[in-house]
Amino acid sequence: MKQLINPTVKEIKECLLRPQLKQGNLKELVLKVANEIKDRGDIALMEYTQRFDHVNLKTLTLSADDISKAASLVSEPLKEAIKTAAVNIQRFHESQKMESVKIETAPGVVCWQEQKAIEKVGLYIPGGTAPLFSTVLMLGIPAQIAGCKEVVLCTPPNKEGSIAPAIAYAAQVAGITKVVTVGGVQAIMAMAYGTESVPSVDKIFGPGNQYVTAAKQAIGLDQCAIDMPAGPSEVMVLADNTAYANFIAADLLSQAEHGSDSQVIMVTNHRALIDSVTEEVYKQLEQLDRKELADGALKNSVLIYVEEESQMIDIANQYAPEHLILSMDHPREVASKINHAGSIFLGHYTPESAGDYASGTNHTLPTNGWARSYSGVNLDAFTKKITFQEISREGLLNLGNTIEIMAEAEQLDAHKNAVSVRLKQIKER
Amino acid sequence: MKQLINPTVKEIKECLLRPQLKQGNLKELVLKVANEIKDRGDIALMEYTQRFDHVNLKTLTLSADDISKAASLVSEPLKEAIKTAAVNIQRFHESQKMESVKIETAPGVVCWQEQKAIEKVGLYIPGGTAPLFSTVLMLGIPAQIAGCKEVVLCTPPNKEGSIAPAIAYAAQVAGITKVVTVGGVQAIMAMAYGTESVPSVDKIFGPGNQYVTAAKQAIGLDQCAIDMPAGPSEVMVLADNTAYANFIAADLLSQAEHGSDSQVIMVTNHRALIDSVTEEVYKQLEQLDRKELADGALKNSVLIYVEEESQMIDIANQYAPEHLILSMDHPREVASKINHAGSIFLGHYTPESAGDYASGTNHTLPTNGWARSYSGVNLDAFTKKITFQEISREGLLNLGNTIEIMAEAEQLDAHKNAVSVRLKQIKER
C-alpha cells in the first residue's frame, strides 16, 4: 500500500482516482447478445448457458420443488443467520415507507405524493464460487415490502443445472418464487426484452462483472430502468488516535478481498497509524484464502496522513466513497459533515461487514464516485412517487389567472384555454 | 382522432403504442460533439453556438447585470404570476423533505438514512420561440430547497446573445446566479465534462429535443446522472357521465399543442362523450395559434369507449401516462387504483395546465411509459440518501456471530475477520 504524508492537492487528487477498467469492445458484444435474445428468446438463452456455464438445460425456470430441495441443503446455523439478517433488513426498509402528506399550496389547491410499487422487477445475482445469497436478501426484501407484483431472480446455474442452496433459501425467505437459471449479459437482456421463460421487467437490480454492468448500461436509459451504474467495491476509513490498527486492517482487507480492482483507503490525523495499519494489513493478509485478490487491490490503495480532521473530511467528500468507516472518537459529529457516501459506519465497533450482511442497511451501494448523485438501493428504489393535485372551483378562481398569464407568455394557447373554459363556466353559474 | 368502441385487447394494445421517433445517426453525432467539447472546451462551444444559434459570443456566462437587465423587461402581471407559482412550487417541494428516523434494528444496532443535496446540478432549458421559463421554476426551486451548492442553467442564446426576459426573471426567483448561453447537445456535454465556463455537474435535468435527449442518454449512466429519459408529452383523460366535453377537449389540445409527436387519449364509459369531445376538439383547434402542431398530434390520438370503469382503470395502468386527468364523479376512489402515472389531476376543475405552471407539483414527468419505474422530478431528484449505522459493543456481541456465519458461507474470510477481531477484543476486556 502506498503511503502519503501531508500530500499536496495534486497528490490527493491522483491517489483518489479509481482503478480504470478496460472497456474493450463490450458494447458490441452486449448488442449482439441483445439481438440474439430479442430474436430467439429461450433458445438463445439455452445456447449461451451451454457455452458459458457448460450445462445443457431443458427448462430455465426452477419449480417450487426445485427451490425447496436446494434450500433444504442449507445448514441450520446458516438458516438461523439468514433469518436474523432478514429481520433486520426488513425492519430498516419498512421504516423507509413514505407517509403521504396533503399540502394546500393555495386555498382550494391540494397537492400530494404517493409511493407506489414498481410492478415488475428483475434481480440479478452473480454466480461464481461463492454465491452471494446476501444480495438476494438485500434486493428481495425491499421488493417485497414495496409490494412489487412480479419479482424474477436470475442467476447462473451450477454444473447440475440448479442453484446454490443458500441462494434458494434466501429466495424463500424473501418470498421470491420465480427463479431462472440464466446469468451474464443474456440474463440482463432477457429481463429487459422478455423471453418465453423470463418476463420483461420495469427495472433491473443487482451487481455483476463488467459484462453485466455494460449490459445494464446499454438498456438502462432505453429499455427499462436499472438500479445504478456499478463498479468495483471500495472503502475509505477515517481514523483518529482512538482507532485500533487491527480493526482498520481487517476492514481494509474485507473490501480488498472482493477483487484486485477494488480500492481501499485510510485517512488519518494520527501518524502512528500509517505504519501500524500497514503492518497489520500484511500480517492479516497472510491468513486469507483470497490473498491474491486482496493483494492486487492493495496495489490501488493508499494510507494518507493529514494534520487536521477537517482535511480528512474534505478528502472523504472529494472521494465520495461507497463505504465510509469512521473509526473515531466522535463519529456522529464527523458524520454530520459528510455530504457524499453510500453508507457510513460509525465508531470502532461498526465494521463494514455488518452492513454487508445483517445490520439492516442495504449493501447495494453507489461506487466509483456515484455516491455524489445516487443513493444506495432502498425502498425508494423499488417504488416511484406519483404526484396528485385536486383543485376546487374556488381554487381555480384563485389560481386560474396566474396560469393563464404564464401559458400566454409561453405562447401555449391551449394550455391557457383549458383554464379559461372552466373559469367561464364557473363564473356563469 | 381515431375512435374505438369496445375495443379488443389487441386493439387497445395497438392504440396505446407511442409514436415512434426516428433515431437515425444521433449516437454518432452526439459522440462527435462530446469529443469536441472534451478536447477544446469553450472554443468548441462558441463554434457550435455560431453554427446553430447564429450568434457570435465572446463570453458564454451572463453577468448578474445581464440577468437583471433581461429580467427587468418582464411585465408586472407576468412577474406576479411567476411569483405566485413559485410560492406554490416552493410549498409543495418543501413538504417533501425527509425526516431522519433512527431504527434500532436489533439491540445495540442503530440504522438511519439522511437526505443530502446533490452538490452540483445542471439545468437545461430549451430555447425556441416560446421560452419555457416555467421549467426554470420547476428545476431551480427544488434545487434551492435541496441545498445544491452549484446550480448552472444552460439555455441557447437569442440573436442578441442574451436570453428571454422571463427565463432571466424565473432564474432570479429560483436563486440561480450562473446562467450560460449555450444550448443543444453541446450544452449537455459541457455540463457532463466541464469547460472553462461550464462546471462539470453531478446530475443534469431538463427537457429537450431528440438531440438533447440522445446526449443525456449517452452520458447518463457513464459520466453523470440525469433526471430521466425523456420523450414527447402525453395526456390521458378518464371521463364519466359527469364530465364536460369542452373541458376535456381543451385538456387534450393543451397536450397536443406541444408538438406533432405528442399523444392524447380519452377513455370513457359514457358513449356520448366520444362524439361530443371530437366535435369540441375540432372546434377549439381552429382557434389555436399552434393549430398545425396540435393537428399532427391528434393523428396519434384516440378516444376509447369501454363499458366498465374498471376497464378504464386497466387501460390507464397499461398506458402509464405522463399526465392523467380524472374527469369523474369520484376521482379519489379511481386515483387510489392507479399504479402508474406521472401526475394525476382529480376532478373537473383540475386542468393539466394547472400542474404545468402553478399548482405546486412538478411538470418534469416521465413520458413514454417510464412512469412504470420513474417518479417525476421532485425533491428526491436533487438529493440522495446516505445510510448510517452505529453498533455498540453489545450490539456487535449480539449480531457478530450472524455476520461471521454468513461471511464464511460466502467464502469471504476478511469480512468475517473484521467482526472476529472486534469480538475477540470485546471478550478479552
Task: State the residue range of the domain holding B260.
Answer: 2-21+232-360
Structural domain count of chain A: 3
Average model confidence (pLDDT) across chain B: 95
pLDDT averaged over 10-residue windows placed end to end, chain A, 429 residues: 95 90 80 96 96 93 96 98 98 96 97 98 88 96 98 95 95 97 97 97 94 93 92 95 98 93 96 98 94 90 97 98 98 98 98 97 96 98 98 97 97 96 94
| Contact yes or no for A402 and B348 at CB 8 A | no
Note the ipTM here.
0.96
> Is residue A371, in this structure, part of any structural domain at all?
no
- φ and ψ at A111, to 5 degrees? -125, 145
Best mutation target, A93, A387, A390, to test chain B (most B CBs within 10 A): A387
> Is residue B156, in this structure, part of any structural domain at all?
yes
Instruction: Locate the chain B residue with the closest alpha carbon to A118.
Output: B373
Q: Cβ contacts of residue A242 below 8 Å, gap of 6+?
A: A327, A328, A329, A348
| Contact yes or no for B372 and A202 at CB 8 A | yes
Could you tell me the CATH number of the domain that includes residue B416?
1.20.5.1300
Determine how many CB atoms are found less than 10 A away from the CB of residue B209: 15
Distances (CA, A) of B42 to A8, B47, B182, B199: 29, 9, 10, 11
Please give the single-letter amino acid code of residue A28: E
Distance from CA of A148 to the nearest CA of B (A): 11
d(CA A425, CA A417): 12
A293 shares its domain with A242: yes
A60 shares its domain with A44: yes
Q: Considering CB atoms only, which of A77, A103, A348 is closest to B92?
A: A103
> Is residue B367, in this structure, part of any structural domain at all?
no
Distances (CA, A) of A122 to A90, A183, A202, B163, B374: 19, 12, 8, 45, 15
> Quick check: B85 contacting A, CB < 8 Å?
yes
Q: Does the pTM exceed 0.95?
A: yes
Q: Considering CB atoms only, which of A288, A386, A412 is closest to B257?
A: A412
Strand A150-154 relative to strand A178-180: parallel, antiparallel, unpaired? parallel
Q: What is the mean pLDDT of residues B108-134?
A: 94
| Contact yes or no for B414 and A294 at CB 8 A | yes
Q: Cβ contacts of residue A51 below 8 Å, gap of 6+?
A: none
| Contact yes or no for B414 and A284 at CB 8 A | yes
Contacts of B373 in chain A (CB under 8 A): 118, 202-203, 224-225, 384
d(CA A383, CA A379): 7
Return the percentage of chain B with pLDDT > 70, whole number: 99
Q: Catalytic pick from A322, A348, A352, A363?
A: A322
> Is residue B365, in this structure, part of any structural domain at all?
no
| Contact yes or no for B411 and A294 at CB 8 A | no
Contact present, A142 and B113 (Cβ < 8 Å): no
- B 105-144 residues with CB below 8 A of A? 105-106, 109, 111, 113, 116-120, 129-134
Between CA A261 and CA A265, with CA A263 as vertex, the angle to 5 degrees is: 165
Burial A179-211 (b: 16+ CB within 10 A, else e): bbbbbbbbbbbbbbbbbebbebbbbbbbbbebb
- How far separated are the first and last CA of chain B, in Å rounded? 80
Cell of B351: 386542468
Contact present, B209 and B126 (Cβ < 8 Å): yes
| Contact yes or no for A202 and B373 at CB 8 A | yes
Determine how many CB atoms are found less than 10 A away from the CB of residue B94: 15
Distance from CA of B221 to the nearest CA of A (A): 6
Strands (E), B270-382: 302-305, 323-327, 343-346
B49 shares its domain with B12: no
User: Tens digits of per-residue pLDDT, B359-378?
Assistant: 999 999 999 999 999 999 99
> Is residue B211, in this structure, part of any structural domain at all?
yes
B144 shares its domain with B45: yes
Cell of B143: 434545487
Q: In angstroms, how far is CA B65 from the centroid of its own chain?
A: 30
> Is residue B173, in this structure, part of any structural domain at all?
yes
> Is residue A104, in this structure, part of any structural domain at all?
yes
B155 shares its domain with B269: no
| Contact yes or no for B413 and A287 at CB 8 A | yes
A45 shares its domain with A192: yes
B217 shares its domain with B258: no
User: Tens digits of per-residue pLDDT, B21-73?
Assistant: 666 788 899 999 999 999 999 999 999 999 999 999 999 999 999 999 999 99
Q: In the prediction, which pLDDT does B23 show?
A: 66
d(CA B350, CA B331): 11
A50 shares its domain with A166: yes
Q: In the prediction, which pLDDT does A23 show?
A: 66
Contacts of B340 in chain A (CB under 8 A): 116, 119, 386
d(CA A209, CA A216): 11
| Contact yes or no for B132 and A410 at CB 8 A | yes
Q: What is the mean pLDDT of residues B65-93?
A: 97
Question: What does the CA dihedral B203, A378, B214, B149 come to, rounded to 10 degrees?
Answer: -10
B264 shares its domain with B202: no
Please give the single-letter amino acid code of residue A387: T
Could you tell me the CATH number of the domain that includes residue B278?
3.40.50.1980
* Of A173, A233, A230, residue with least CA distance to A353: A233
**Of B177, B198, B226, which one is at a domain's C-terminal end?**
B226
B8 shares its domain with B97: no
Strand B225-226 relative to strand B203-205: parallel, antiparallel, unpaired? parallel
Contact present, A429 and A421 (Cβ < 8 Å): no
A350 shares its domain with A423: no
Q: In the prediction, which pLDDT does B266 show?
A: 98
> Is residue B268, in this structure, part of any structural domain at all?
yes
Instruction: Locate the chain A residue with the closest alpha carbon to B258.
Output: A412
Instruction: Locate the chain A residue with the closest alpha carbon to B77.
Output: A405
| Contact yes or no for B350 and A391 at CB 8 A | yes
**Of A198, A226, A254, which one is at a domain's C-terminal end?**
A226
* Of B181, B223, B229, residue with least CA distance to B201: B223
Distance from CA of B404 to the nearest CA of A (A): 9
**Catalytic positions of B, written as ranges:** 322-323
- How far separated are the first and last CA of chain A, in Å rounded? 80
Q: pLDDT: is B117 or B19 the higher one?
A: B117
B237 shares its domain with B218: no
**Of B173, B191, B226, which one is at a domain's C-terminal end?**
B226
